């Protein structure tokens, strides 16, 4: 029964596009002689007839490269300066494109260095450091940045790894501002593999590694939402419990979030914001580890959308992923797969309320699994399209569990924490 629940394949309209992976030329080892490792990042810059993908190699190097899709080749760009901190790029480094002529980058490597790259001038400028903050902590694994334009002002929002401190940098005024601390959740600490993604309008999404907690920062309210979203499922098609960890990365593309789990696994997922649901995509041909990176790419005339991927893990592997046609982008809702919500969560009194929404009324199977995939409870019954039921969880010890619902060839998962 465990195998039948864990390995249910999700069937949605998005699957009909038959995405595929294509290997592209690897990132060259020169000039440092090293391959891609911790601190690597990608930034895609589209143009009318091709896409430029900038790549920092990380791995305590200053190597910086430009890939051009039209020629399918890599060329060296101006190396990243050691700067006032006298450090190369390593764990905690992240980069992004501002939609114009600039890239912005954090140095990582236990420093607070922050830089701008001028695309047309192929040159770097050091900007004011990220604040040390109340914990006097520098940037390391778990840090990430996103760009958001708010009231016409461009900002770089930054999550400081491990501590969860949250800032934004005003690109016009060149000044940092402290924002509300990212939620501690059930498991405090934003460690290597945590990431940020912005929808470019209302929300910044933050996924916490190891705990697979998922939170949203409301840009209008200037505050974190108090209720967590559904985190990346612990168990995918492989049936192996795998939390997001080193190398986990994500990108907003076509109204959806695409994300790797990292943790030396090939698992690749897509998040549907309107449904607060995840679906597993075709696994990568390689395992993604430290230095794994993902960036949006170009859109072909036929509507296909491409993402570009670094494998990391001391390899130079570089891949292109073809996603669903743009006409399907952003589709989704409760009818696509079972949607569930457990309250309260964490469960402290032995009882919880399960709210659910299915694609249609009929038979469905519910199951509860522990973190190593063992079945702890299961039931099959006839359900209406939406409803609520009471769960008796008094027999469960403290820990993290997965509640899974399978119906009509679809499956949904809700992470549940039990505290005694």
What's the pLDDT at 408?
A: 65
> Does position 316 have pLDDT exceeding 60, yes or no?
yes
Worst-scoring range by mean pLDDT, 132-141, 206-215, 324-333, 372-381? 324-333
Worst-scoring range by mean pLDDT, 12-26, 267-281, 295-309, 382-396? 12-26
pLDDT band at 390 (very low <50, low <70, confident <90, very high): confident
- Residues 198-220: tens digit of each pLDDT: 998 899 999 999 999 999 999 99
Residues 289 and 313: beta-carbon distance below 8 Å: yes
> Does position 71 have pLDDT exceeding 50, yes or no?
yes
Kindly state the average pLDDT of the residues 95-99.
Answer: 96
More confident residue, 39 or 19: 39
What's the pLDDT at 302?
A: 54
CATH architecture, domain 334-418: Sandwich (2.60)
Residues 365 and 379: beta-carbon distance below 8 Å: yes
CA 320 to chain centre: 17
Note the pTM of the prediction, 2 decimals.
Answer: 0.77
Kindly state the average pLDDT of the residues 116-134.
Answer: 97
Tell me whether domains 19-328 and 334-418 share a fold.
Answer: no
What's the pLDDT at 4?
A: 30
Q: Can you identify the CATH homologous superfamily of domain 19-328?
A: Kelch-type beta propeller (2.120.10.80)
Percent of all residues in the chain with a pLDDT value above 70, rounded to a whole number: 90
Count H helices and E strands in the chain, helices first. Answer: 1, 31
What's the pLDDT at 2?
A: 31
Worst-scoring range by mean pLDDT, 25-39, 225-239, 254-268? 225-239
> Does position 325 have pLDDT exceeding 60, yes or no?
no
DSSP assignments along 149-218, one per residue: EETTEEEEEEEPTBT--EEEEETTTTEEEEEPPPP--SS--B-TT-EEEE-SSSEEEEEETTTTEEEEEE
Going by C-alpha positions, the residue among 267, 252, 308, 301 that lies closest to residue 21 is 308
What's the pLDDT at 42?
A: 98
Kindly state the average pLDDT of the residues 303-331.
Answer: 77
Question: Three-class SS of residue 43?
Answer: strand
List C-alpha distances in Å: 78 to 55, 113, 282.
11, 17, 36
> Does position 55 have pLDDT exceeding 60, yes or no?
yes
Angstrom distance (rounded) from CA 209 to CA 103: 26
What's the pLDDT at 280?
A: 87
Kindly state the average pLDDT of the residues 67-86.
Answer: 96
- Residues 143-188: tens digit of each pLDDT: 999 999 988 899 999 999 999 999 999 999 999 999 999 999 988 9
> Does position 235 have pLDDT exceeding 90, yes or no?
no
Q: Taking the domains of the chain in order of start, what are their residue ranges? A: 19-328, 334-418
> Does position 17 have pLDDT exceeding 50, yes or no?
no
Kindly state the average pLDDT of the residues 2-31.
Answer: 58
> Does position 92 have pLDDT exceeding 90, yes or no?
yes
What's the pLDDT at 20?
A: 82
What's the pLDDT at 75?
A: 97
């Amino acid at each position: 029964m465990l195998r039948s629940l864990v390995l249910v394949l999700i069937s949605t309209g998005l699957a009909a596009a038959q995405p595929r992976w294509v290997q592209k030329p690897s990132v060259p080892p020169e000039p440092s002689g090293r391959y891609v490792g911790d601190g690597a990042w990608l930034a895609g810059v589209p143009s009318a007839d091709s896409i430029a993908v900038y790549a920092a190699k990380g791995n305590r190097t200053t190597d910086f490269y430009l890939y051009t899709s039209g020629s399918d080749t890599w060329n060296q760009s101006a190396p990243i300066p050691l700067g006032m901190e006298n450090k190369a790029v390593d764990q905690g480094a992240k980069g992004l494109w501002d939609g114009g002529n600039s890239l912005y980058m954090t140095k990582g490597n236990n420093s607070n260095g922050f830089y701008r790259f001028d695309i047309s001038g192929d040159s770097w400028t050091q900007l004011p450091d990220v604040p040390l903050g109340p914990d006097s902590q520098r940037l390391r694994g778990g840090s990430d940045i996103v760009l958001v334009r708010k009231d016409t002002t461009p900002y770089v929002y930054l999550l400081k790894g491990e501590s969860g401190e949250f800032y934004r940098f005003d690109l016009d005024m060149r000044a940092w501002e402290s924002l509300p601390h990212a939620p501690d959740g059930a498991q405090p600490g934003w460690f290597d593999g945590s990431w940020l993604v912005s929808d470019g309008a209302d929300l910044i999404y933050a996924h916490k590694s190891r705990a697979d907690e998922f939170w949203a920062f409301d840009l209008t309210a200037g505050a974190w939402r108090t209720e967590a979203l559904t985190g990346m499922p612990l168990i995918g098609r492989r049936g192996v419990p795998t939390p997001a960890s080193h190398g986990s990365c994500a990108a907003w593309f076509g109204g959806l979030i695409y994300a790797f789990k990292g943790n030396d696994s090939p698992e690749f997922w897509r998040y549907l914001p309107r449904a607060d649901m995840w679906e597993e995509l075709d696994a990568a041909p390689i395992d993604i580890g430290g230095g794994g990176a993902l960036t949006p790419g170009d859109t072909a005339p036929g509507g296909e959308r491409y993402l570009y991927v670094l494998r990391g893990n001391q390899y130079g592997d570089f891949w292109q992923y073809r996603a669903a046609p743009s006409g399907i982008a952003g589709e989704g809702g409760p009818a696509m797969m079972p949607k569930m919500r457990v309250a309260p969560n964490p469960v402290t009194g032995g009882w919880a309320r399960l709210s659910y929404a299915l694609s249609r009324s009929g038979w469905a199977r519910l199951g509860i699994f522990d973190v190593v995939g063992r079945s702890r409870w299961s039931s099959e019954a006839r359900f209406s399209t939406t409803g609520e039921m009471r769960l008796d969880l008094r027999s469960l010890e403290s820990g993290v569990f997965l509640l899974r619902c399978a119906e009509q060839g679809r499956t949904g998962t809700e992470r549940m924490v039990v505290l005694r």
